[in-house]
């Protein structure tokens, strides 16, 4: 079992991967606000370069889809971490390179309007080869903008 200090290092490394080391996440302005394995959460602010409908100033559907996908990948990665909690940290971090999207379904429920958005994920199943996650995108007013389900390879 890893010590509390080592677990803290692992969570810092995961945060760094998702916030600093993935260039597209930096483009989106993603910040990881929770790394709890049952309910990770990312947040980003609305910016003019994320607008899809310029007449209404709505978030682009591709941004919505991308945020669901990266949140689902985070859910899958954290699920793998739970399965590997007795393994060395380097081995646990190395598993990030094996995470890949198999399928993603997004349901757009409301226009993407708001000052900032939060995407929360939760695992539906984490197996030895595939993880399945459910994600919800909520605006700063608490409105549910979209939901998604994703399947990710984890082996």
pLDDT grade for 4, boundaries at 50, 70 and 90: low
State residue 23 phi and psi, 5-degree precision.
-55, -40
Residue 48 is encoded by which pair of tokens? 């003019």
Domain extent listing, the chain:
4-153
Burial class of residue 8 (count of CB atoms within 10 Å of its CB; 0-12, 13-18, 19+) = exposed
- For the whole prediction, is pTM greater than 0.95? no
Instruction: List Cβ neighbours of 135 (8 Å cut-off, separation of 6 or more).
Output: 68, 71, 72, 75, 119, 120, 121, 122, 147, 148, 149, 150
| d(C-alpha 148, C-alpha 59), whole Å | 16
Q: Which of 101, 105, 95, 153 is nearest to 127 (CA)?
A: 153
Q: Tell whether domain 4-153 is in CATH 3.40.50.10860.
A: no
Percent of the chain residues past pLDDT 70, beyond the cut:
97
Coil/strand/helix, residue 111 = coil
Q: Which of 68, 44, 87 is nearest to 150 (CA)?
A: 68
Q: Which of 89, 95, 80, 87 is nearest to 37 (CA)?
A: 80
pLDDT grade for 86, boundaries at 50, 70 and 90: confident
Of 66-75, 84-93, 132-141, the one with minimum mean pLDDT is: 84-93
| d(C-alpha 123, C-alpha 40), whole Å | 9
């Amino acid at each position: 079992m890893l010590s509390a200090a080592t677990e803290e290092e692992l969570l810092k490394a995961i945060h760094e991967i998702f916030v600093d080391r993935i260039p597209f996440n930096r483009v989106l302005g993603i910040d990881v606000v929770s790394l709890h394995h049952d309910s990770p959460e990312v947040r980003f602010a609305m910016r003019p370069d994320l607008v899809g409908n310029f007449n209404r100033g709505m978030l682009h559907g591709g941004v919505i889809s991308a945020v669901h996908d990266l949140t689902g990948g985070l859910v899958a990665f954290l699920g793998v971490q739970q399965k590997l909690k007795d393994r060395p940290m380097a081995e646990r971090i190395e598993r990030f390179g094996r995470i890949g999207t198999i399928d993603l379904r997004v349901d757009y429920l409301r226009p993407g309007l708001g000052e900032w958005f939060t995407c929360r994920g939760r695992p539906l199943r984490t197996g030895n080869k595939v993880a399945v996650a459910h994600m919800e995108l909520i605006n700063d007013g608490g409105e549910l903008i979209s939901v998604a389900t994703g399947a990710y390879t984890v082996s």
